[in-house]
Structure 1
Amino acid sequence: MTSRSAGESVTAADKEKLENARPANDSPNPEEPQEEMSLIDHLLELRNRLLKVVLAVLICFAAIYPFANDLYLWLSQPLRDLLPEGQMMIATDVTSPFFAPLKLALTLSVFAAIPYILFQIWSFIAPGLYKHEKKLAFPLLFSSVVLFYLGAVFAYFVVFPLVFGFFTTIGPEGISEMPDINSYLTFVLKMFFAFGVAFEIPIAVILMILAGITTPADLAAKRPYVVVGCFIIGMLLTPPDIISQTLLAVPMWILFELGILFGRMAYRQTADDTEADA
């Protein structure tokens, strides 16, 4: 009886030691996400992020709207400088003098809040990423913001003077050009969006390479088709003139080449990380 009790006690003690040691041996990989959230928790987190984004846009709008009229004058400067003396922009709708600056202020509020919006997106998806994925995700988000702003700046300082110079000189004789302020704003915002998205091509190329959809060698082999596609997209997203189409197509092609260049670097880095993990 005594030996059996001693044996049972030793066995129980050994079991307890094994149970205490098991969590340490079965601890998760530090590179893997540490905790799993339920669907409700994800939805609540998404709601909180969206509310923060809306609040950020409203704060930017409150700061920008008092200067909406001045901002519209600055935005229309490239066209007004090219109008003949005595001609000016007009408002064909009674509400246009109010709604055009309002629309501009709201759009600029979204543009100004883009870094914070992307930060909220990053904060939402970062807990579910591995360590090597986080190293690539943050630079890609930061680069996407910078490239979008560069596209808008390129459109304003390079494209607008050339496009408006073309449009203001090609009209028939005896026709006075007096652009509507609402139509002009729609045209300008469309151009900003087109060039901002076009400048995201390197990010799209890198993401396709990292996702395994294609490889840098395959993209380089399809270069002639990409050049033709750039001019087709330029034709669809810009006014029907060769100047604006070329000014969009050529930067798209150059950015595609940059995407292949940086994609090769990311491709090698991913392969090295995979070998290191193995």
Structure 2
Amino acid sequence: MESLLAWGHYLTGITWIGILYYFNFIQVPFLGKVTPETKGEAFKHLVPNALWWFRWGALGTWLFGAILLMNQGRFGSAFALQGQDAVIGMGAWLGTIMLFNVWGIIWPNQKKVLGIKEATADEKKAAGRVALMASRTNTMLSIPMLFFMANSGHASGLF
């Protein structure tokens, strides 16, 4: 059971963080250089699909990680940053903050940018800036989060 939970955590985590890096290092610079028509096509077809995988990858990663910690009897001690579970707890807290950024800041603002939620041109511009800053924050938080996860013995020895 632990192997499957760990595998799910890793797979969804790779999806989430991979798309996060794609957004920040590839898509944002690209969309800043293209024509309005190209940007419109991307907002119609590419971006909503990427955001779907991004937000569900985030939720899947957190859920698999939380269930894995519960299965190991470490959920409470990890989130309380107690003893040997403090390292994984730091990673878990950073992942939790990042999850809230995805669902509470990035996605609601991207819905305005994409026209899923009605907004004026000024509101769309402001929403785009807020979403970008939250995404950049998540990119920066992902570095220590990955460090803590990798150095915690997180599901080590299961494979």
Common fold, TM-score beyond 0.5?
Answer: no
Larger relative contact order (Cα-Cα within 8 Å, sequence gap ≥ 6): 2
